[in-house]
Amino acid sequence: MATAKYKKNFRGLYETLVWDGTYNPNGTKHRIHLSSDKSSRDLEIKVQEHNDRLKNHGATVFSDITLHDYALEWLKCMRTS
């Protein structure tokens, strides 16, 4: 007999955190909460759909640095290595 990948929490929901392709300001991965009240299999499908969407569309990382400033930083790093 197969074992469920996700277990119910104290509220009766199946839930998990998945990476959304972006990072927090401190450098850690930003994760979003996915949940299902139906079944562990339903949550697995939601996670797979999220991962497929992320893979097909890629992650959009927003930054306040300009391309010029990034290029200057990149040059500095390349010169020191």
Predicted local confidence at residue 23, as pLDDT = 87
Predicted local confidence at residue 18, as pLDDT = 92
Overall pTM > 0.75: no
Predicted local confidence at residue 38, as pLDDT = 93
Spatial distance between the Cα atoms of 33 and 13, rounded to a whole number of angstroms: 12
Predicted local confidence at residue 45, as pLDDT = 94
Per-residue pLDDT tens digits for 48-65 = 998 888 888 765 566 788
pLDDT average per 10 residues of sequence, the chain (81 residues)? 80 91 87 92 92 77 80 85 59
Closest CA to 12 of 32, 46, 39, 43: 39
